[in-house]
Structure 1
Amino acid sequence: MDKHLQGGKAFGFLKSQQDVKLNSINEVFLTDPKYAEEEDLSSKLEMFKNKYMEFDLNDQGDIDMMGLKRMLEKLGVAKTHLELKKMMSDVVGGAARDTFCYTDFLNMMLGKRNSILRLILMFEGKGKQEPKESGPPQRKTFSDLP
């Protein structure tokens, strides 16, 4: 069998394992009374899971400093090393760690603290939703007025 096909199958297997693991973490959050008032929690968790899996490039379950750097560069928000360290500290709640896990990520996204990463990820989707009009503005007439 071709090595590329074997590698692709292994990658798919790792992604499906990760999907199952992250779904089980989502289930814990869905049953947590702390988040009972959260509006549309199930779809938010699914969106967060997909975003997390997109940037957990080594499929080890944690995002490290380089993963965070790539995440932000892909979103068009490059940061310095010191800014990345501050973001990492925000995500893990001030702990001195070089990685964050999915639970840390969910706590940040659903928590009350405003971290820079949370704000970037929340507004990333909103910026893509509004199509920009091109060309000159349309001509208005008196009948267009309310």
Structure 2
Amino acid sequence: ISDSRGKAFGLLKSQQEEKLDSINQAFLSDPQYADEEDLALKLEMFKKKYMEFDLNDKGDIDMMGLKQMLEKLGLAKTHLELKKIMSEVVGDASSEIISYKDFLNMMLGKRNAILKLILMFEGMGKEQEQKDAGPPRRKTLSDLP
């Protein structure tokens, strides 16, 4: 049984990826983004990040997906803060989901949405986490005061 569910999930993810790829193609041919440096590379990176947090597998990020995304980055938010971030990205206070187009508009747009800033600085945070990871360095006699 689990094998068939795994295949169905894989099929669902590949269909979702195809859908997101077609949206990426639309952005690549959009004159508004013609001057964007490394656009194809950025779109591929954004697609992977988006798919990682699409928890309902419907091609959009819901409130729980956003919550998990921020928690994974070490930035747990209250429900009210999540609603504010979501409405800032979508531009509609009543929206419960972030579509891929909204996500791309936020990441490529000029507005500095909170979520955009968080995702852009995620890489810097990872670099510091790696430095602190692992057991502390072994002390030697020369380390003593």
Q: Report the TM-score when normalising by structure 2.
A: 0.86
Deviation at 1:62, TM superposition (A): 1.3
Which of 24, 31, 36 in structure 1 is aligned with 2:29?
A: 31
Deviation at 1:94, TM superposition (A): 3.5
Q: Which residue of 2 aligns with 1:87?
A: 85
Q: Which residue of 2 aligns with 1:139?
A: none
**1:118 aligned onto 2:113:** no
* Partner Cα distance (2:120, 2:108) in 1: 11
Aligned residues: CA RMSD: 1.6
Q: Which residue of 1 aligns with 2:44?
A: 46
Q: State the one-letter code of the partner of 1:30.
A: L
Q: State the one-letter code of the partner of 2:65.
A: G
Between 87-96 and 39-48, the greater mean CA deviation after superposition: 87-96
Q: State the one-letter code of the partner of 1:77.
A: L
Q: State the one-letter code of the partner of 1:28.
A: A
Which of 63, 88, 97 in structure 2 is aligned with 1:65?
A: 63
Q: Which residue of 1 aligns with 2:143?
A: none
Q: Which residue of 1 aligns with 2:7?
A: 9
Q: Deviations over 1:28-84 (max 9, x none)?
A: 000111111111000000000000000001210111111111111111110011110
Q: State the one-letter code of the partner of 2:116.
A: R
Q: Report the TM-score when normalising by structure 1.
A: 0.86
Q: Which residue of 1 aligns with 2:104?
A: 106
**Is the 8 Å Cα contact of residues 63 and 96 (structure 2) preserved in structure 1?**
yes
Deviation at 1:96, TM superposition (A): 2.3
Deviation at 1:95, TM superposition (A): 4.7
Q: How many residues align?
A: 134
* Partner Cα distance (1:38, 1:129) in 2: 26
* Partner Cα distance (1:53, 1:104) in 2: 14
Q: Percent identity?
A: 70
